[in-house]
Copies of this chain bind each other. A is one copy, B any other.
Amino acid sequence: MPSRSGGYALQEIVQRIGGELRGDATLRVQQVAGLEHAGAGQISFLANPRYRQQLLSTRAEAVILAPQVAQDYPRACIVTDNPYAYFARVAQLLNPAERPPAAVHPSAVVETSLPPSVSVGANAVIGAGARVGEGTIIGAGCVVGEGTSIGADAVLHGNVTIYRDCVIGARVVIHSGAVIGSDGFGFARENDGSYVKIPQIGRVVIGDDVEIGANTTIDRGTLEDTVIEEGAKLDNLVQVAHNCRVGAHTVLAGCTGIAGSTRIGKRCMFGGAAMIIGHIEIADDVIITGASFVGKSIRQPGTYTGQIPSQKHEEWLRNFSHLRHLDGLAARIRALENRLGELEKKP
């Protein structure tokens, strides 16, 4: 993938991003790459000292390194205490996002007034009373409901849907197919087994710098709001039910589901397909490994797991047949203990 920028000299990079430059400051890099694949004109990084072996053989033009690794490295490098974050910033510098022109496509239907710096793609629809901040990009085919507010410099990729009266922060990125503000799943059961819909009159409120993945769904609250705090990152096909709160800088990987009214702390990390029951609280700094089910509140930071790793089908058949009879196995162990105790008492 060629760089979208013309490249930068290493000295220009440290002027913009910081860090300590060692070696030839005039070397130019055009693109980022992993240590193994990097070649001429490419800059790479080493985050995990365990892989320092790869430094010996890399053909990268320059490398971003932590201080404890940099001392051994004889070629051009940038020294920083967080090489991976630095690498991300260099990647952004070398690959600036292409911006569509600041204009409303003639096929878009916009029933509100917009700042001139906003870009609205073809066939997008923006309802009456919606507010959109400076520099925001609304992709083709998006539907933004009446009264919804979107902050500055946000990006809605194509075919995003936001219902009415939601609040989206600045610099939020929402990927295609995501749905924000659909009705929470709230129904009261009648005595005959049928259901009466409970109007969902809360909103979805999304903080600044949040990213929402493709086809992710976030329901509006029943009476209060569903809230995604600043800096949270949600991957694709994530479901956040009504009345939930997702804490700042929390990361939810793909296919994660959060049932209604659950509150998740700050800086949590949920692996893919984690499934979280409703009406619980999860503390700050909790890690849930992928495909784990969380059925009650977690009060302490730490890593929590509930996976069943796959094994060969025949072995699984042998082992898991016992799972349904664990109570019996436990009873047999107790009986053995009792009988053995009797026997041991004998002279």
Contact = CB atoms under 8 A, between A and B. Distances in A.
Interface of A: 1, 32-34, 37, 81-82, 84-85, 87-89, 91-92, 95, 97-98, 105, 107, 109, 121-123, 125, 139-141, 143, 145, 157-159, 161, 163-164, 173, 175-179, 182-183, 185, 187-191, 193-199, 201-203, 209, 211, 213-215, 217, 219, 223-224, 231, 233, 235-237, 239, 241, 249, 251, 253-255, 257, 259, 266-267, 271-273, 275, 277-278, 287-296, 302-313, 315-327, 329-330, 332-333, 336-337, 339-340, 343-344
Contact of A302 (B81, B202, B313): B313
Given A182-B157, A305-B316, A310-B295, A290 B259 contact: yes
A10 B164 CA distance: 30
Chain B CB count within 10 A is highest, among A98, A143, A157, for A143
Given A88-B188, A91-B198, A185-B235, A344 B339 contact: yes
Contacts of A231: 194-195
Interface centre among A189, A236, A293 (most CB of B within 10 A): A236
A177 B217 contact: yes
Given A303-B312, A305-B311, A343-B344, A176 B197 contact: no
A279 B270 CA distance: 17
A303 to B, nearest CB: 4
B214 A182 contact: yes
A259 B251 contact: no
Contacts of A324: 309, 311, 315, 319
**Copies of the chain in the assembly:** 3
A295 B312 contact: no
Contacts of A319: 323-327
A92 to B, nearest CB: 6
B159 A143 contact: yes
Given A85-B191, A91-B201, A157-B182, 9 more contacts: A95-B199, A185-B213, A197-B211, A236-B239, A239-B254, A255-B257, A293-B308, A293-B309, A305-B312
A340 B337 CA distance: 10
A308 B323 contact: yes
Contacts of A187: 88, 211, 233, 251
A319 B323 CA distance: 7
B159 A161 contact: yes
B105 A123 contact: no
B143 A163 contact: no
Nearest to A105: B109
A235 B192 CA distance: 21
B307 A293 contact: yes
Nearest to A198: B88
A185 B336 contact: no
Given A163-B176, A308-B308, A185 B253 contact: yes
Contacts of A37: 223-224
Given A125-B141, A145-B158, A176-B182, A202 B253 contact: no
Contact of A326 (B179, B182, B320): B320
Contacts of A179: 159, 175-177, 214-215, 236
